[in-house]
Chains A and B, each alone.
Chain A
Amino acid sequence: MSVYSIEEILETVRMIQAQHLDIRTVTMGISLRGCVSPDIDTMRDNIYETITTRAGRLVSEAKAVEEKFGIPIVNKRIAVTPIGNLLDTPLAGASEREAIEGAVGVAKTLDAAAKKLNIDFIGGYSALVHKGFTVGESILINSIPEALTSTDRVCSSINVATTKSGINMDAVLLMGQVIRKTAARDPVGCAKLVVFANAPPDNPFMAGAFHGDGEPETVINVGISGPGVVRAVLSQMDDADLGKLSETIKRTAFKITRMGELVGREMAGRLDVEFGIVDLSLAPTPAEGDSVANILEVMGLERCGTHGTTAALALLTDAVKKGGAMATSYTGGLSGAFIPVSEDAGMVDALRVGAIGIDKLEAMTSVCSVGLDMIVVPGDTPPETISAIIADECAIGMVNAKTTGVRIIPAGKEGEYVEFGGLLGGSPVMGLNKFSSAKFVRRGGRIPAPIQSFKN
């Protein structure tokens, strides 16, 4: 072949057809700031109109791009301005019940817009409360249990800590209760809710996507995938040392990320909106072989979770970033490696055989891109224990100036298997430390920002 070698062409085709390479998501960020109105019904109409107009061609253009390049785009998503910012004007004077109903109404409007557009998820039922709550943000947080269990495609994220401002422990305490209340209505609601430290404003992945401050009116962000490709390449390298593994992961991450860059630019051009970022994260799915845990095992660990797992994950995450950074003009979002439990068949296997538990997962989150993700814990876990788990993750994120998150689902009894279906997968219920953290988290207040935040 004069232009490309046969090997190059077959490599690309093989990555897509046999190794699950796909574009995980094309996410359109939409500002809803122009939708605010003192009348909640008018605001809901404005929101519906804005979303359905700006994203009217999102799904059809994504389909056209899939066909043009022969690469699947698994999810089409939308991220909007954190709804907590919009609720003050229409709901500040309302009674508690009216305020909750008003907020849930907005969630239903987002859901209706998502269904009209035939997109998979809409994120941004969110609030950033790392230093404190506005009236609108309090309303939003209190409405989460009802909002997430009376809608199908709406995702919610609450930022409770940043490196710059510390941890809002009142918000952490509240979120433990919100998660339990949501689970009591329907545990799947908790799969659509993430509690963050240092939430990025341009993350295309759910449940944490929202259209943050500093973003333009409309933007296209892309999340890639590809754990299967990395695993397949590493499985040919039984005798290589770790430096060579890192080099190979970098090369592979480069190729995967280029697909994100190509698809992002093409989508932004077709929709005539700005191209934002490519999120470099390796995102697993429950499909056999499409697993981050399996990559760590191919590197030489008998099971993901055993001693050495944190080191292996650190190498993987770093190599993915280095390879990906060269491949795209703008990186953003979470960018690293995801380690969700229920969404990764290798993680579920490791949990089943007792190779991994909450403590090791927590350690791993200090070197990966997100946090304790899609973890199923006993349904009767005290809210304060959930809050304490969130506080631990926030501390890791705050001190290391990185994003961390908690997406935790109280359901069933320890050892039982809970199935969510689709990309969410299923998982055994994980045991937690039985000793109480209640007195600590109930103290409330703020954990001050660490000394490393003083950079000015």
Chain B
Amino acid sequence: MQKAKERAVITVNGIDHPGIIAAITKALADLNVNIEDLSQTIVQGLFTMILIADITDHDLARLQEKMAAVGREQGVQITVQHEDIFKYMHRV
């Protein structure tokens, strides 16, 4: 039987500057994590990006650690949450 797919939602907030998307997507590629969806916009003057990543067979804690390191390096706030929190809150 195929394992149920698990996804993480990665939210990025901060002051816009060159290289944020590159740094994040490179870190994900290094971990062999596939990006399923990506959206970027400016909310109240702040760079805001949301990525949905396939984390089936990946360690969420390790991904969170790596993203925290990228966040510190880029000076942006990165939150990595299991998809279920959004599914529970917004879908009946």
Give residues in A with beta carbon < 8 Å to B.
1-4, 6, 8-10, 12-13, 17, 67-71, 255, 258-259, 261-262, 266
B70 interface residue per 8 A CB criterion: no
Give residues in B with beta carbon < 8 Å to A.
7, 9, 11, 37, 39, 41, 43, 48, 50, 52, 60-61, 64, 79-86, 88-90
Contact present for A9 and B60 (CB under 8 Å)? no
State which of B39, B61, B89 has its C-beta within 8 Å of the C-beta of A6.
B39
Do A9 and B86 form a contact, CB below 8 Å, given A1-B37, A3-B37? yes
Across chains A and B, the number of contacting residue pairs, with CB separation under 8 Å, is 64
Contacts of B88 in A (CB 8 A): 258-259, 261-262
Question: A1-B37, A70-B82, A255-B89 known; 13 other A-B pairs, CB under 8 Å?
Answer: A2-B37, A3-B7, A4-B86, A9-B11, A10-B11, A10-B48, A12-B85, A13-B11, A13-B79, A13-B81, A68-B81, A68-B82, A69-B85
Closest residue of chain A to B83, judged by CB? A3
Contacts of A67 in B (CB 8 A): 60-61, 64
Chain A proximity of B44: nearest CB distance (Å): 10
Closest residue of chain B to A17, judged by CB? B79
Contact present for A70 and B85 (CB under 8 Å)? yes
Contacts of B60 in A (CB 8 A): 67-68
Contact present for A1 and B50 (CB under 8 Å)? yes
Closest residue of chain B to A256, judged by CB? B89
For the complex, give the distance between the alpha carbons of A4 and B37 in Å. Answer: 10
Do A70 and B79 form a contact, CB below 8 Å, given A1-B52, A4-B86, A6-B50? yes
Contact present for B85 and A4 (CB under 8 Å)? no
Contacts of B50 in A (CB 8 A): 1, 6, 9-10
Please name 29 pairs of A and B residues whose Cβ atoms are closer than 8 Å in the assembled complex, sorted by A. A1-B39, A2-B37, A3-B7, A3-B37, A3-B52, A4-B9, A6-B48, A8-B86, A8-B89, A9-B86, A10-B11, A10-B43, A12-B86, A13-B81, A67-B60, A67-B61, A67-B64, A69-B81, A69-B82, A69-B84, A70-B80, A70-B85, A71-B81, A255-B89, A255-B90, A258-B88, A259-B85, A261-B88, A262-B85
For the complex, give the distance between the alpha carbons of A258 and B85 in Å. Answer: 9
Do A6 and B41 form a contact, CB below 8 Å, given A12-B86, A13-B11, A259-B88? yes
Contacts of A13 in B (CB 8 A): 11, 79, 81
Do A9 and B9 form a contact, CB below 8 Å, given A3-B52, A4-B90, A67-B64? yes
Chain A proximity of B76: nearest CB distance (Å): 13
Contact present for A258 and B89 (CB under 8 Å)? yes
Closest residue of chain A to B50, judged by CB? A9
Q: Which of B9, B48, B64 has the most CB of A within 10 A?
A: B9
For the complex, give the distance between the alpha carbons of A1 and B10 in Å. Answer: 12
Chain B proximity of A70: nearest CB distance (Å): 4
State which of A8, A71, A261, A266 has its C-beta within 8 Å of the C-beta of B90.
A8
Chain A proximity of B36: nearest CB distance (Å): 8
For the complex, give the distance between the alpha carbons of A13 and B52 in Å. Answer: 14
Contacts of A255 in B (CB 8 A): 89-90
Chain A proximity of B25: nearest CB distance (Å): 17
For the complex, give the distance between the alpha carbons of A2 and B89 in Å. Answer: 16
For the complex, give the distance between the alpha carbons of A4 and B81 in Å. Answer: 14
Chain A proximity of B57: nearest CB distance (Å): 16
Q: Which of B41, B48, B50, B64 has the most CB of A within 10 A?
A: B50
For the complex, give the distance between the alpha carbons of A385 and B76 in Å. Answer: 57
Closest residue of chain B to A2, judged by CB? B37
Closest residue of chain B to A255, judged by CB? B89
Closest residue of chain A to B85, judged by CB? A69
Chain B proximity of A205: nearest CB distance (Å): 22
Contacts of B85 in A (CB 8 A): 12, 69-71, 259, 262
For the complex, give the distance between the alpha carbons of A1 and B7 in Å. Answer: 14
Q: Which of B48, B52, B82, B90 has the most CB of A within 10 A?
A: B90
Chain B proximity of A267: nearest CB distance (Å): 13
State which of A2, A6, A262 has its C-beta within 8 Å of the C-beta of B84.
A262
For the complex, give the distance between the alpha carbons of A110 and B24 in Å. Answer: 48
Contacts of B82 in A (CB 8 A): 68-70
Pairs of residues from A and B, 10 with the lowest C-beta to C-beta distance, nearest first: A70-B81, A262-B88, A69-B85, A258-B88, A8-B90, A68-B82, A255-B89, A258-B89, A4-B86, A13-B11
For the complex, give the distance between the alpha carbons of A258 and B52 in Å. Answer: 21
For the complex, give the distance between the alpha carbons of A70 and B52 in Å. Answer: 15
Chain A proximity of B50: nearest CB distance (Å): 5
For the complex, give the distance between the alpha carbons of A71 and B9 in Å. Answer: 13
Contacts of A4 in B (CB 8 A): 9, 86, 90
